[in-house]
């Protein structure tokens, strides 16, 4: 069972300030090397989409993943996926309201 949702509470004192996760569906994979659990978005990405920089390979104990690099490009049997860290709205809040609009308004006065 690797399907889950992003319900992780991000640590207090970090930039995220102890807030709960976003609740989006994710999948866990174990990193090579290190065997650490990494949350991945469920979306599939085209093989050539370099924004999704993690390669995932199926394994009978659960998927493994690694970072795709120039020296170690995507191999047969691997699929590109996006680390949830890169897309989580809790970790990546939307930008503040359009500052240029405010500046224009000020310059009109």
What residues make contact with Zn ion under the rule CB under 5 A? Answer: 6, 21-22, 88
Residues 6+ apart with CB under 8 A from 38: 28, 29, 30, 31, 54, 65, 83
Name the residue nearer to Zn ion (CB basis): 85 or 102.
85
Name the residue nearer to Zn ion (CB basis): 43 or 104.
43
What are φ and ψ of residue 65, in 5° steps?
-140, 160
* E-assigned strand segments in the chain: 3-5, 25-31, 37-41, 54-57, 64-67, 79-81
């Amino acid at each position: 069972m690797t399907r889950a949702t992003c319900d992780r509470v991000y640590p207090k004192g970090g930039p995220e300030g102890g807030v709960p996760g976003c609740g989006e569906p994710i999948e866990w994979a174990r990193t090579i090397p290190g065997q650490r659990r990494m949350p991945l978005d469920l979306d599939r990405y085209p093989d050539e989409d370099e924004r999704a920089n993690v390669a995932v390979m199926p394994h009978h104990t659960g998927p493994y993943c690694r970072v795709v690099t120039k020296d170690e490009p995507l191999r047969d049997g691997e699929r590109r996926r996006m680390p949830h860290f890169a897309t989580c709205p809790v970790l990546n809040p939307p930008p503040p309201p359009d500052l240029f609009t405010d500046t224009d308004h000020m310059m009109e006065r």
